Amino acid sequence: MTDFMTRDFLLQTETARHLYHNHAACMPIIDYHCHINPAEIAENRVYENLTQVWLYGDHYKWRAIRTNAVPERLVTGPADDYQRFEAWAAAVPKLIGSPLYHWTHLELQRYFDIFDPLSSKTAPAIWEKTKAVLDSLPVREIMRKSGVELICTTDDPADDLQSHKAIADSGFATKVLPAFRPDKALRVEKPTFTAYIAELSKASGLTINSVDNLKAALAQRLDHFQAHGCRAADHGLETVPYHPASEAELNAIFKQALKSEEISQTETAAWQTELLLFLAKEYHQRGWAMELHYGIRRDNNTIMYNKLGPDTGFDCLSGCTSPEGLINLLNALAQENKLPKTLIFCANPADNTTINTLAGCFQGEEAPAKVQQGTAWWFNDTRHGMENQLTDFAALSALGNFIGFLTDSRSFLSYPRHEYFRRILCNLLGGWAENGEYPAGAELERIVEDISYNNAKRFLGF
């Protein structure tokens, strides 16, 4: 029997162990999409306990705790921090087969030198030991200890990016760059749209009373982000739309929205199509990468949404994916030679084959695998999901050009997820080599190093 989560965790062959320990593990981390709060890096926050760093804002863990039939006060509050930690500790032993189980114990091992499994029995001692360590582990030290070279946060166009400036001016070795996330400008159907336009107008210094004015304001914010090192833009969509409309139609939709009138699904699709086409051309001009995330149906539990708001653990996969809209959007941009480098993430794994075959239709000289599937995302961020994504990418594209993993996380203790991915990658590739499907040696080692680090650095132009 193999011992619990040893040095060779998940590495089932000698080749896999060689690839991981001598190549993947040596590479720095580029986390090119996350939800880390840059203000906490600017102030070099010190967390008081594990609940603050683990359970504040982590809806992955909240979902798991809820399956234990506990009161919501132990999940999102107002229970005290230790009570919430106890609820998590009680849930963890039941998470056999879940990445949450592995992530939790990798984090305990790497940051706190704790190798005992977390449970209700071990919770008190783990709580006390981790509290003592966290006192001397501010977030910048966590990032340094994790080997993080660069991260991209997720930032609204109206953000002043002062935290990013403060971090850059401080001389912190890890680069913390913004990523442009214009979702609020695309969500014309939302009741918050009018207030957001006012916020964007203030940030840009421009009056926004037409579609052209809005584009000018977004372009001004793109310049602001570029001046702070931005190299990527991200979009969270339920589906990828393609429904072109005339300028008059778009301005009519805009006026309806500003008057808080109802916007139809067709009008929303037309609005999003126009802004996505405009923004993608701007990204191409600047050499940025465009990330498209879709395939999630959000806020399904109305009672809990009304109590807690969005991003609280009540989302699921969407059965309605977007190949037609995605194909037409990329094709329209390609016809004008304005298609930027593009990363496509779909939460529904049923789209893996479509995305990888579609990517082959839109390659170019700007970068290897200019259009490619992004890493296994959200509910696919599991061992099974990663293996499927890697296998499909390899079968239908060129896996050696894949730009690798990102955490998509709000927690500073999430960097061992890169280790988890790299172990899975090395085990998969090592197995292929030992089966005689690919030669072991320098080329395989280079592929591991490239997917772990080099490809992301080149693709995103860091």
The full DSSP string for 173-217 is SSEEE--B--HHHH-TTSTTHHHHHHHHHHHHT----SHHHHHHH
Q: Is residue 401 part of a domain?
A: yes
CA separation for the pair 408, 414 (Å, rounded): 9
53 and 40 belong to one structural domain: no
Looking at 106, 137, 168, the residue that finishes a domain is 137
Q: Is residue 1 part of a domain?
A: no
Residues forming a β-bridge with 180: 155, 233
pLDDT at 322 over 70: no
Tell me the Ramachandran region of residue 299: left when phi exceeds 0, alpha when psi lies from -120 to 50, beta otherwise. Answer: left
User: How many domains are contained in the chain?
Assistant: 2
Tally of CB atoms within 10 A around 174: 18
131 and 238 belong to one structural domain: no
Q: What is the mean pLDDT of residues 249-273?
A: 97
CA separation for the pair 435, 17 (Å, rounded): 15
How is the chain split among helix, strand and coil, in percent rounded to 5? 55, 10, 40
CA separation for the pair 450, 456 (Å, rounded): 8
**pLDDT of amino acid 1:** 87
Given a contact cutoff of 8 angstroms between Cβ atoms, the answer to whether 288 and 235 are in contact is no
**pLDDT of amino acid 227:** 98
**pLDDT of amino acid 184:** 98
Residue-wise pLDDT tens digits, 358-397: 999 999 999 999 999 999 999 999 999 999 999 999 999 9
CA separation for the pair 176, 162 (Å, rounded): 12
What is residue 316's three-state secondary structure?
A: strand
CA separation for the pair 191, 196 (Å, rounded): 10
DSSP for 128-174, written as a single string: HHHHHHHTT--HHHHHHHTTEEEEE--B-TT---HHHHHHHHHT-SS
Looking at 119, 137, 155, the residue that finishes a domain is 137
Q: What is the mean pLDDT of residues 304-309?
A: 95
Look up the CATH number of the domain holding residue 419.
Answer: 3.20.20.140
CA separation for the pair 261, 357 (Å, rounded): 40
Q: Is residue 2 part of a domain?
A: no
**pLDDT of amino acid 319:** 78
108 and 157 belong to one structural domain: no
Tokens of 87: 């609820």
Q: Work out the percent of the chain whose per-residue pLDDT is above 90.
A: 98
- Closest C-alpha among 365, 366, 359, 434 to residue 399: 359
379 and 303 belong to one structural domain: yes
Tokens of 116: 């005992």
93 and 82 belong to one structural domain: yes
Looking at this protein, which amino acid is placed at residue 168? A
What is residue 370's three-state secondary structure?
A: coil
193 and 290 belong to one structural domain: yes
Q: Is residue 247 part of a domain?
A: yes
Q: What is the mean pLDDT of residues 73-96?
A: 97
Under DSSP, the state recorded for 2 is P
225 and 373 belong to one structural domain: yes
Given a contact cutoff of 8 angstroms between Cβ atoms, the answer to whether 204 and 58 are in contact is no
Q: What is the mean pLDDT of residues 25-49?
A: 98
CA 389 from chain center: how many Å? 15
Q: Is residue 333 part of a domain?
A: yes
**pLDDT of amino acid 89:** 98
Look up the CATH number of the domain holding residue 123.
Answer: 1.10.2020.10
CA separation for the pair 217, 389 (Å, rounded): 38
CA separation for the pair 99, 120 (Å, rounded): 19
Under DSSP, the state recorded for 95 is -
**To which H or E segment does residue 236 belong?**
strand 232-236
Q: Is residue 7 part of a domain?
A: no
88 and 201 belong to one structural domain: no
Looking at this protein, which amino acid is placed at residue 385? G
377 and 255 belong to one structural domain: yes
Q: What is the mean pLDDT of residues 338-345?
A: 98
Residue-wise pLDDT tens digits, 170-229: 999 999 999 999 999 999 999 999 999 999 999 999 999 999 999 999 999 999 999 999
**pLDDT of amino acid 17:** 98
322 and 432 belong to one structural domain: yes
20 and 125 belong to one structural domain: no
**pLDDT of amino acid 256:** 97
- Closest C-alpha among 375, 444, 409 to residue 148: 409
Q: Is residue 4 part of a domain?
A: no
**pLDDT of amino acid 77:** 86
**pLDDT of amino acid 270:** 98
What is the pairing mode between strands 316-317 and 296-297? antiparallel
**pLDDT of amino acid 60:** 95
Looking at 88, 109, 137, the residue that finishes a domain is 137
Q: Work out the percent of the chain whose per-residue pLDDT is above 70.
A: 99
Distances (CA, A) of 369 to 202, 281, 350, 360, 400: 39, 19, 21, 8, 9
- Closest C-alpha among 11, 23, 29, 14 to residue 445: 23
Residue range(s) defining the domain that contains residue 62: 46-137
129 and 148 belong to one structural domain: no
Q: What is the mean pLDDT of residues 405-428?
A: 97
Q: Is residue 3 part of a domain?
A: no
Q: Taking all residues of the chain, what is their mean pLDDT, rounded to a whole number?
A: 97
Q: What is the mean pLDDT of residues 129-155?
A: 98
Tokens of 319: 């059965």
Residue-wise pLDDT tens digits, 418-454: 999 999 999 999 999 999 999 999 999 999 999 999 9
